[in-house]
Amino acid sequence: MEKSLLMQDSWRSNHGYEAMLDFQMSWLMRLAAEKNVEKKRLHQISNEVLLRLIGLLDTPNVVIERVEVWRQWEHIDVIAEVEVVVDGEKQHHLVVIEDKAYTMIHDNQLERYSETVNAYYNGRHKKQYKIHCWVITFYDRDKNNKYWNMLDCKCKDLEWGLLSFYEVIGWEDGEFEDTESDLFNEFWLREWY
């Protein structure tokens, strides 16, 4: 695997990884909207990422019509309103993402975020959103990894999904073709250290 020029410098610190992931997730989800199809491979991956996050990856006839993303809304790393059409029927989904690179979940963080999101998005004057909450970690899914296991237990208790960095893009087997985007390739497909 090639070294990343984007994510590697002489400092070799992981400080800032979460902020970079916030921007990348925002960008990928917005690219999934049907109007962004210039780079076919990148569009395909961004589509798969978003459909994975809203639980429609294996659903045929899904058109992603609108994606609007905010970073750090109410201290939540990333939140995205997604409008899709499935077999002619419009659906509203909400993706809530908390990144974990170098800290554990703290101060009832996920519970507070769930309460805030539910209060705002499913109040009586709002459209009904199907809410999908995720923790994305830079640790690999590994039964021997204490950090992963603690996150996994916490997420299951609170009905949050847990994905490792590479599971986000569907790359669990170690090989992935470059896309038309150097930015995507440097962040997702290159070695950081």
* Average pLDDT for 148-159: 86
Residue 174 pLDDT grade (very low, low, confident, very high; cuts 50, 70, 90): low
**Tokens 């909207």 sit on residue:** 33
Strand, coil or helix: 185: helix
The mean pLDDT of the chain is 86
User: Does residue 183 have a pLDDT over 70?
Assistant: yes
CA dihedral 169, 175, 181, 187 (to 10 degrees): 60
pTM given for the model:
0.88
Strand, coil or helix: 86: strand
In whole angstroms, give the CA distance from residue 81 to residue 92: 7
